[in-house]
Amino acid sequence: MSYDLVVFESGAAPEDRAEFLAWYTEAARLGDCILSSDPATTSPHLRAWYRNMIEQFPPIDGPDAVWIGDRDNQCVADYRFTPVAVFVAFQWEASRHAHRQAIKLARNHRVGFFDASGEDTAVWGMSSKGAYTILHRNTAKPADDDDRRQKIMIP
């Protein structure tokens, strides 16, 4: 199982939750056709984010790839690039550290951040007031066992 996230040029993705998810789904679906392992194919802001990110999570593929024996397997990542987004997959064991580092760098480089594997699949970006904040997230509360039992109990 992998921990997946996406960083993107803020102006490239729709702000509306439903439209954003459709944009993401289409980009992921077309991934085999348009995704590249070469960071030169993405925007300067995203390339700068990537350059900082690979200091702690080197790529397993592409021009900056490291030999797997050189690094702990938990610290490597699979980066895929489009002109306006970077899709990244990490080992699940590295998810906490990867999330913290990725969102910190996304804020520093002023790019959007989508926590695709997160519980609430939050999308972060710059607010109209210039703060880096959650723009939208999944607000559906997962049903716990007590909720499910209450729904199926017969009075």
What does the pLDDT read at residue 92?
92
pLDDT of residue 36: 87
Extract the tokens encoding 149.
């039992």
How far lies 154's CA from each of 4, 82, 149, 151, in Å? 41, 53, 10, 8
First and final C-alpha spacing in the chain: 41
Which strands, in side-by-side order, build the sheet including 112-114? 77-81, 85-91, 2-8, 112-114, 123-126, 132-136
Q: How much is the pLDDT for 153? A: 31
Q: Which residues on neighbouring strands pair with residue 5, listed in sequence order?
A: 88
pTM of the predicted structure, to 2 decimals? 0.84
On whether the CB atoms of residues 85 and 24 are closer than 8 A, the answer is no
Domain segments of the chain as ranges: 2-152
For 81-141, the DSSP string reads E-SSEEEEEEEGGGHHHHHHHHHHHHHHHT-EEE-TTSSS--EEEE-TTS-EEEEE---PP
pLDDT at 142: 52
Query: Do 88 and 79 contact (CB within 8 A), yes or no?
Result: yes
Render each residue's pLDDT in the chain as its tens digit; 155 residues.
899 999 999 889 998 999 999 999 888 776 555 788 899 999 999 999 999 999 999 999 899 997 766 555 678 999 999 899 999 999 999 999 999 999 999 999 999 999 999 889 999 998 888 899 999 999 875 544 343 333 333 32
